[in-house]
Structure 1
Amino acid sequence: MAKAVGIGGVFFRAQDTEALTQWYQEHLGIPGFWTQAAGPTVFAPFKADTDYFPADRQWMINLRVDDLDALMASLKAADIAVETRPEEWDAPETGRFARIQDPEGNPIELWQPPK
């Protein structure tokens, strides 16, 4: 049976595509065309009434990161609000998490998988 072998792209609407593209590249290091590092990718629909991400958003992107502390420091230095809930979100078997929003309010979860 033929199957999907990876995510080929993430596409979403934006009010200012050029500014948002620049923001993702500047603050998260994501260029328009990106060859990802090998690692796990979770593909999981959530229940319609989930409170895992804002109710007014249909999606939340989760990005694997290699150094969550350094990235959070960089984001905070750029006056980007970073939310953490170590007691609730972090666990040795799943890793560490933080959340931010892009300039258009799209939720982004940053994930440092366990080593």
Structure 2
Amino acid sequence: MHVTGIGGLFFRSRDPGALAAWYAQHLGVGPVGDSWSWAQQAGPTVFMPFKQQTDYFPADRSWMLNLRVQDLDGLLAKLRAADIAVETRDEWDSPETGRFARIHDPEGLPIELWEPPAED
């Protein structure tokens, strides 16, 4: 296997600087200081195409960003305190896959927050 991981995520934005600042402030994602890259922790990455008719994310979007997180409850409290709408559903969570929440960035892009199950 020659591919060792995702090397980047590139997408269009009406205001790239402001959007990058939002991701850094609220999610801790993105470049730090003068660095153009973000060092991630090792862990699982799901790469999965969905059927065109899926209702897993909004029909007007071609993709949804999923971010692996620690302390989902703490992050959700921080996001709510910043007046960022958070959606959770009991049916999204399971001991096998972990816990999930959904938010949208300022440009309406869907973001799924995923706390994988604790490793034994």
TM-score by structure 1 length? Answer: 0.96
**Structure 2 residue ranges without an equivalent (≥5):** 32-36
Matched, 1:112 2:111: no
Letter paired with 1:49: Q
What's the CA shift string for 1:40-99, capped at 9, x where partnerless?
A: 00000000110000011010010000110000000000000000001x100000000000
For 1:60 and 1:105, how far apart are their aligned partners in 2?
11
Percent identity, aligned pairs only, is 69
Q: Residue 63 of structure 2 aligns with which residue?
A: 59
Matched, 1:99 2:102: yes
For 1:96 and 1:9, how far apart are their aligned partners in 2?
25
- Quick one: which of 32, 36, 47 aligns to 2:40? 36
State the shift of 1:31 in Å.
Answer: 2.2
Letter paired with 1:95: G
**Structure 1 residue ranges without an equivalent (≥5):** none
For 1:31 and 1:62, how far apart are their aligned partners in 2?
14
For 1:52 and 1:11, how far apart are their aligned partners in 2?
22
Matched, 1:83 2:87: yes
Q: Residue 12 of structure 1 aligns with which residue?
A: 11
Q: Secondary structure at the match of 2:26?
A: helix
